Structure 1
Amino acid sequence: MNKVLSTLALTATTAFCLPAAPLFAQEEDTVTTVDAHAPKIPFDGYDMTWQNGNDRRKSAVLQSKYVTGIVMLDANYTHSFNNPNDNTVVGSTALARNNEVTLSGIYLGGEFNYKNAHARILTQFGTRATVVPRNDFSPYRGQYDLANVYRYLSEAYAGYHIDKWYGINIDAGMFMSYVGLNSYYQVENWEYQASFTSDNTPWFFNGLRIQVFPTKKLKIEGWLINGWQSYGKFNSMPGFGGNITWCPNEAVKLLTNDYYGADAANIPDRKRFHSDNSLQVRYYNKPESKGISRMAFSLTGDLGFEKGGGVNGFSNADTAKGPAQYFASAMFYNRVWFYKNKFAWTIGGGLMTNPGRYLVLYPTGQASPLPNPNNPTQTAGLYPFSANPGDPFKGWDCSTNFDWMPNQSITFRVEYVHRHANVPYFAGKGGVTSPTGYTTTPLPADWRPDLVKSEDRIIFAMLFRL
């Protein structure tokens, strides 16, 4: 009999730790004695391997009493039909280089449990160790190079578990946010290139969280963090937020993530609010079928704004308070599995509007008046993508992919993506580096990065998890 996933294996939106318990349940036909003092496990018996943003494995390999090892590798090859001369991908946290085999992420670590103490540590190597930290301005405040201090860690936190209700966890360190539904790890997602909703919202938080499971079907989580995907704080105020996840059964997940903070560098009066909400439904399930074996969809909608310090949320009515500055987005994906869940086809996309561009990934490096000395791209800071109050930005995207999953540890994916913006944003044929594409080429006085409004690309990826 196949082993059944226990909820300790859920490392996404329902993530939690229960010390001194096996990561996966015993064989279905094993006779066991009921322990009246055993900890209650939230979502116990639920199969959540189908969910977008969740671990799809049903068993762990590197498992012992106190340690469960984790090894993940994400390798990709992508081609942009714009064919930029410098091979640089812009506007993405998943991709970095065109027309090259790229190691996007190498993650090594594990989960550690001893009595009621627990920790999770994962290193991070590959292009994401540069692509993601380059969007964080907090290291510019004060001394010590926080971007390099933390860039080789994707997760690193420790905490304590309290045996109350279905569990309470208190954790401190760097942990995943799951705002925008998708997981930071592509091996857990239905699509490779995330829609604007996910790619423009935070992948991680640095701070403190408390997870409370009052019932088997409900998680309530609170955050006290440095800021919105930031290693440090932009101003004196920390960020506050939380998550509520409800799973009435294993076929439905409903969640909300909400955040409030001051995340405009050196503008303490500008406050940010963001609400992220998702529904996932598995509406067909015949896992042993050699035809269609499973079908599910995910729907996500985000709404947020910034107010104060020269911007005015959703309103343009009061010019004295500044222009409107907000974020509104949605994305929808449908996935169909075939032949005992060995193959899958996904189609979907999304749209976003973000006046002020405060969450848009900058396509030409740091939007700073000074070049970033830690970025080898000589144009970083010289030709910043404008993010002035009220600057318009609207984008939409669609994608489709096909997965082959011969076993639970590896996925081969081919994906086609179209993205469009209302302003020049994506790398065009001239690239964003120099006339030749090399940083060693002097820049003519009239040279500028070549940005265009649309891009089409194909992605080939191999995703491994042990």
Structure 2
Amino acid sequence: MKRFLVVAAWLFTSQATKAQSSNSTEKIPFEGIETNWQNGSDRRDSSVFHGKYFVPSIMLDVNYTHSFNNPNDNTVVGSTALARNNEVQLSHLNVGGDFMYKNAHARVMLQMGNRSIVIPRNDVSPYRGQYQLADVYRYLSEAYAGFHINKWYGINVDAGLFLSYIGLNSYYQTENWEYQASFTSDNTPWFFNGIRVQIYPTKHLKIEPWIINGWQSYGRFNKQPGVGANITYMPNSNIKMLTNNYYGADAAGIPNRKRFHSDNSFLMRYYNNPTSKGITRAAFSITADVGFEKGGGVNGFKDGAQGPAQYFASAMFYNRIWFAKNKVAVTVGGGVMKNPGRYLVLYPTGQASPLPNTNNPTQTEGAYPFSANPGDKFAGWDASAGVEYMMNQSISVKAEYVHRNANVPYFAGKGGVTSPTGYTFTPLPADWRPDLVKSEDRVVFALLFRL
């Protein structure tokens, strides 16, 4: 969805260059621009690790969440950040780092915890062909290699598994203002598998085209690969603008159905006074997405002879205020989403995939599909308020209250989505169905560590 770490692939190549030549005159993109206030970016001023050939990275995310619906199976529905209610869970453990030698570089980040199950579950592409792609990639969040070209402010060419920027939020919770992402971010990709080229023609601009397997997919759904690009512009330390645009054929077994998606964000730090005894800085982020699918029985933004409308329209807004020398921050915000056809809606956990007559390896327990047929309507909205205490640049604790609402039964109710007892080994009575409701309220507590 989501992550834009300002100097992403650039940092380790520039570190290597500077380590090997103290007289280097290489230009550095976004040099001198503060980015640690931005939603979806690294909040650290610097890393504690320094190396000529390798810079390690460690991230840990432990959460506890309580749903006031109290589902009997403790299952969280419709989230890629949370998996279990009323339990302390290791959500994400990431270990790895950046390798560099001269103009060659690589980044490898391993992932463990329940997100290594939750995220691959939403990718149906491993069902096409042999070999279990969801298994072989599951424990990798990033794994790519490439090379740097000393042209303009730099060009990086990378191939492998890398993170998506669509939806603004970072895949790593240590970089986000809010914990439970709004619909805009949670229903768009967290990763891409393919090739990207990062071009920095000026100090303030990045242009990044992609050729990838598809929309958050380890494999390819049809014969056509996905293509897209990111453009990011930061004129100074207070403003960031970016757009991500994508085109592909991502309906499994329906090659004539094409998808277009445009994701656009604007961030502004409108107050900054580090010496203040009260508020030290304040900023907001706003994101708007629009997209559609057309062909293969659906017809974009309006009903027509080719089929019913199938599109995605969403927006989210967050405002964050920092206090106490930037050690405490309060964030409020939320968003809306409309998705006729439900082609980007996360299937409720415990529901089978809507693909007919398949043994889909990405489905979890459950035998009652959540329909995603052409013409099926889905609309939702959410709001949240949270406070974060950042003891230092490596560790923080976060508390957040979240309300989410849908126009159809979608979230887990008291009866859960697994069985009458909540256990997967309990036989299902003929009249049993998952208990889905239209809204939920929850509180989230998280401990976030980064080194």
- For normalisation by structure 1, the TM-score amounts to 0.93
Cα 1:370–1:106 shift into 2, 3 Å: farther
2:415 equivalent to 1:417: no
| d(CA) in 1 for partners of 2:354, 2:62 | 29
Give, in whole Å, the separation in 2 of the partners of 1:365 and 1:345. Answer: 38
Would the alpha carbon gap of residues 118 and 376 (structure 1) be closer, same or farther in structure 2, given more than 3 Å must change?
same
Q: Give, in angstroms, the shift of residue 38 of structure 1.
A: 2.2
Q: Indicate the SS of the match to 1:16.
A: helix
CA contact under 8 A between 1:17 and 1:118: conserved in structure 2? no
TM-fit CA distance, 1:178: 1.3
Q: Which residue of 1 aligns with 2:426?
A: 441
1:23–1:301 distance in 2 versus 1, CA, 3 Å: farther
The residue number in structure 2 matching 1:87 is 74
Residue 16 of structure 1 is aligned with which of 1, 6, 9?
A: 9
Higher RCO, 1 vs 2 (CA within 8 Å, ≥6 residues apart): 2
Contact conserved, 1:13 with 1:178, CA < 8 A, in 2? no
Give, in whole Å, the separation in 1 of the partners of 2:98 and 2:9: 11
1:198 is paired with a residue whose SS is helix
Paired amino acid for 1:130: I
* Cα deviation digits, residues 153-186 of structure 1 (max 9, x gap): 0000000000000000000001111100000001
CA distance in 2, matches of 1:23, 1:47: 22
RMSD, aligned CA: 1.8
C-alpha distance after superposition, 1:192-246 (max 9, x if no partner): 0000000000011000000100000000000000000000000000000000000
Q: Do the aligned residues in 1 keep the contact of 2:4 with 2:168 (CA within 8 Å)?
A: no
**Do 2:110 and 2:139's aligned partners in 1 also have CA atoms closer than 8 Å?**
yes
Query: Are residue 362 (structure 1) and residue 355 (structure 2) matched?
Result: no
Q: Which residue of 1 aligns with 2:319?
A: 334
C-alpha distance in 2, partners of 1:57/1:263? 36
1:243 pairs, out of 230, 233, 246, with 230
Pick the aligned partner of 1:462 from 430, 447, 450.
447
Per-residue CA deviation, residues 86-112 of structure 1 (Å, 9 max, x unaligned), is 000010000000000001100000011
Match of 1:351 among 329, 332, 336: 336
- Give the TM-score normalised by the residue count of structure 2: 0.96
CA distance in 2, matches of 1:13, 1:64: 20
The answer to whether structure 1 residue 429 and structure 2 residue 414 are counterparts is: yes
Q: Does residue 283 of structure 1 match 2:270?
A: yes
Task: Find the aligned partners of 2:72 and 2:148 in 1 and give their Cα distance.
Answer: 52
- Runs of 4+ in structure 1 deviating by more than 4 angstroms, as ranges, are 23-26, 370-377
Q: 2:244 aligns with which of 238, 257, 260?
A: 257
For structure 1, the residue ranges without an aligned partner over 5 or more in a row are: 1-9, 27-32
Aligned 8 A contact 2:275 2:325 in 1: yes
Shift of the 18–298 alpha-carbon distance from structure 1 to 2, 3 Å rule, reads: closer
Alignment of 1:116-131 (within 5 A): 116-131=103-118
SS at structure 2 position matched to 1:221: strand
Instruction: Say whether the 8 Å CA contact 1:52–1:181 is kept in structure 2.
Output: yes
- Residue 25 of structure 1 deviates from its aligned partner by 10
Superposition map of 1:63-462 within 5 A: 63-316=50-303, 318=304, 320-363=305-348, 364-369=351-356, 372=359, 377-379=364-366, 382-462=367-447
1:375 offset after TM fit, Å? 6.5
Which amino acid is the alignment partner of residue 295 of structure 1? A
**What letter is aligned with 1:46?**
I
3-state SS in 1 of match to 2:408: coil
C-alpha displacement of 1:66: 1.3
Q: 1:23 to 1:180 in 2, by over 3 A?
A: farther
The alignment partner of 1:187 has SS state of: helix
Specify every segment of 5 or more residues in structure 2 that has no aligned partner in the other structure, as ranges.
none
